[in-house]
């Protein structure tokens, strides 16, 4: 059946294959292609009774698609995306549309758009979150690029996206690379939240001496309270899982080194470029990097010897404190990510509606959480809110929980348990609410050693002092 299929997918890995099956479930006819013939064969087998076709070559794949064609790419970020575009180009025609659904760096969009528009081909850059399960049953989708191009695929995206109160978790977010930028910040927040949860785990394990079963029930209970979120939910599940090979809890046979594909680091790099402080996310990236220094850490454990001590007294009283500290840390992490988006939106001319972004994140994605309802309400009340910590509701919550965050950071530091994510979250909070900061001293030092000049509180202009007589 030539020219029949409504949309095509290049890349039949975990995300591409599941998205394609999701589309087929919603009644769309879809064609898939992968340079790995085994993946095409697997798709054909799985989709025997559905309106799904697997093509063995690119020309065959493109012939299957209804004209003008809509081709979605789910291939690894970077060079593979350009390679696929390069291979597709000879077969594409004016009016066709390419959709990059991978975790591409937002800055790659511009060049690709220019290259494709010379041929009359449109390009959409779409962030997709939710992993394998989300792709199959309802992801959160963050499209950016030409609005008219989005309108072409909107019905499909709305059909496959996660739903919250019947509302699809997808919306056109802005022009150009808006979609991929929002996805990058989503991942930065993801890194931050994962780091905070890991620190809470560390405190429960090494500070309180909790068993995996106890840790499981604590996270499980929290997931039914205000901390309700996907990441807390899966954390509870993880602590319950038994390893088939050893019969032990699986978590205890997993190596303590965490990899990364780079999106969290990109968020930190962009924040540095835009001079937006997002220290919780920066620390999360740094700690993943430190986890990779396993050999050095093992050596240092002997050289920098200081035995971890355990909490004395009523260990259960810490549970409430940990919950509260995590909640405050989570609000502060979202606040940093949203503050980055607010600045990036102006700088990159995305004209983002941050309430819309938060709505799209309420379902399907990795950072979905009950807290996003408060975040939506905050931006609904004030669309140009520069920082969530200025929202009356969220700031009240942070104030309510701050003492617990403070006590936990003190306790962890005394016990020798590393909680840099919680520490910098608290430090960020304390600095952000400081009407005065010691930056006057930094100005003076810069002027002292480099004649960089300084500003004064009582007069406009740039001033310089001859600080030393030498
Ligand atoms: C998502 C995730 C996903 C991400 C992986 C791995 O929203 O579904 O963010 O896109 O790529 O979770 O990320 P790292 O390898 O960087 O941890």
Same domain as 304, residue 261: yes
What is the rounded CA–CA span in Å between residue 279 and residue 428? 7
Same domain as 468, residue 393: no
Domain span holding position 93: 7-176
Same domain as 234, residue 85: no
pLDDT in tens, 184-220: 999 999 999 999 999 999 999 999 999 999 999 999 9
Residue located nearest, by CA, to atom 7 of ligand 1: 129
Tell whether the torsion through CA atoms of 339, 342, 344 and 346 is positive or negative: negative
Look at residue 2 and tell me if it is in a domain.
Answer: no
**Domain count across the chain:** 3
Same domain as 449, residue 369: no
Same domain as 157, residue 300: no
Same domain as 454, residue 378: no
pLDDT in tens, 461-470: 999 999 998 7
CATH number of the domain enclosing 70: 3.40.50.720
Same domain as 199, residue 92: no
What is the rounded CA–CA span in Å between residue 59 and residue 43? 18
Same domain as 189, residue 168: no
Cβ of 130 below 6 Å from ligand 1: yes
Look at residue 132 and tell me if it is in a domain.
Answer: yes
User: How far does the centroid of ligand 1 lie from the alpha carbon of residue 140, in Å?
Assistant: 13
pLDDT in tens, 357-416: 999 999 999 999 999 999 999 999 999 999 999 999 999 999 999 999 999 999 999 999
Ligand 1 atom closest to Cα of residue 130: 8
Cβ of 193 below 6 Å from ligand 1: no
Identify the pLDDT of residue 393: 98
Are 226 and 397 in contact by the 8 Å Cβ rule? The answer is no
CATH number of the domain enclosing 462: 1.20.5.320
pLDDT in tens, 428-439: 999 999 999 999
Give the orientation angle of helix 317-347 with respect to helix 371-381, to 10 degrees.
Answer: 40
Are 191 and 399 in contact by the 8 Å Cβ rule? The answer is no
Same domain as 402, residue 444: no
Same domain as 254, residue 315: yes
Q: Which of 148, 176, 204 is the last residue of a domain?
A: 176
Look at residue 364 and tell me if it is in a domain.
Answer: yes
Same domain as 257, residue 140: no
Ligand 1 atom closest to Cα of residue 264: 16
Q: Which of 140, 155, 176 is the last residue of a domain?
A: 176
What is the rounded CA–CA span in Å between residue 285 and residue 289? 6
Angstrom CA distances, 367 to 231, 238, 452, stand at: 7, 17, 43
Look at residue 1 and tell me if it is in a domain.
Answer: no
- Token pair belonging to 92: 């594409």
Look at residue 446 and tell me if it is in a domain.
Answer: yes
Look at residue 210 and tell me if it is in a domain.
Answer: yes
CATH number of the domain enclosing 403: 1.10.1040.10
Cβ of 103 below 6 Å from ligand 1: yes
Same domain as 215, residue 111: no
Cβ of 131 below 6 Å from ligand 1: yes
Residue located nearest, by CA, to atom 9 of ligand 1: 187
Exposure pattern of 413-435 as b/e (b: 16+ CB <10 Å)? eebebbbbbbbbbbebbeebeee
Give catalytic residues, as residue numbers. Answer: 183, 190
Q: What is the β-pairing status of strands 30-33 and 52-55?
A: parallel
Identify the pLDDT of residue 323: 97
Q: What number is the average pLDDT over the span 50-78?
A: 94
Residue located nearest, by CA, to atom 14 of ligand 1: 260
Res. 307 pLDDT band, cuts 50 70 90 = confident
């Amino acid at each position: 059946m030539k020219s029949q299929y409504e949309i095509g997918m290049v890349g039949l890995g975990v995300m591409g294959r599941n998205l394609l099956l999701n589309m087929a479930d919603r009644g769309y006819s879809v064609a898939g292609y992968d340079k790995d013939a085994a993946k095409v064969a697997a798709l054909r087998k799985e989709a025997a009774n559905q309106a799904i076709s697997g093509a063995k070559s690119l020309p065959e794949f493109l012939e299957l698609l209804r004209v003008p064609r809509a081709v979605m790419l789910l291939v690894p970020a970077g060079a593979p995306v350009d390679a696929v575009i390069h291979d597709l180009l000879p077969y594409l025609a004016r009016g066709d549309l390419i959709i990059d659904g991978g975790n591409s760096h937002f800055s790659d969009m511009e060049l690709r758009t220019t290259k494709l528009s010379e041929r009359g081909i449109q390009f959409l850059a779409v962030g997709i979150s939710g992993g394998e399960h989300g792709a199959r049953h309802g992801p959160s989708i963050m499209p950016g690029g030409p609005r008219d191009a989005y309108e072409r695929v909107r019905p499909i995206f709305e059909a496959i996206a996660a739903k919250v109160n019947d509302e699809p978790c997808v919306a056109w977010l802005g022009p150009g690379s808006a979609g991929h930028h929002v996805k990058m910040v989503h991942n930065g927040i993801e890194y931050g939240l994962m780091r905070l949860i890991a620190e809470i785990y560390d405190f429960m394990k090494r500070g309180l001496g909790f068993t995996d079963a106890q840790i499981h029930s604590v996270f499980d209970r929290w997931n039914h309270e205000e901390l309700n979120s996907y990441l807390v939910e899966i954390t509870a599940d993880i602590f319950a899982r038994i390893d088939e090979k050893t019969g032990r809890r699986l978590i205890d046979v997993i190596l303590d080194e965490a990899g990364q594909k780079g999106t969290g680091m990109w968020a930190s790099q962009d924040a540095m470029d835009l001079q937006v402080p997002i220290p919780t996310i920066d620390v999360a990236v740094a700690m993943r990097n430190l986890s990779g220094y396993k050999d050095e850490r093992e050596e240092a454990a002997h050289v920098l010897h200081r035995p971890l001590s355990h909490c004395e007294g009523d260990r259960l009283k810490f549970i409430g404190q940990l919950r509260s500290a995590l909640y405050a840390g989570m609000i502060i992490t979202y606040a940093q990510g949203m503050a980055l988006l607010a600045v990036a939106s102006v700088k990159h001319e995305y004209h983002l509606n941050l309430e819309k972004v938060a709505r799209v994140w309420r379902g399907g994605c990795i950072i979905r959480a009950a807290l996003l309802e408060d975040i939506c309400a905050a931006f609904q009340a004030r669309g140009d809110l520069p920082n969530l910590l200025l929202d009356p509701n969220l700031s009240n919550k942070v104030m309510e929980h701050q003492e617990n965050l403070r006590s936990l950071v003190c306790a962890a530091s005394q016990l020798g348990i590393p909680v840099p994510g919680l520490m910098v979250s608290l430090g960020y909070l304390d600095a952000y609410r400081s009407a005065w900061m010691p930056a006057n001293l930094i100005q003076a030092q810069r002027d002292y050693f480099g004649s960089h000049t300084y500003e004064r509180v009582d007069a406009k202009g740039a001033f310089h002092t001859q600080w030393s007589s030498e």
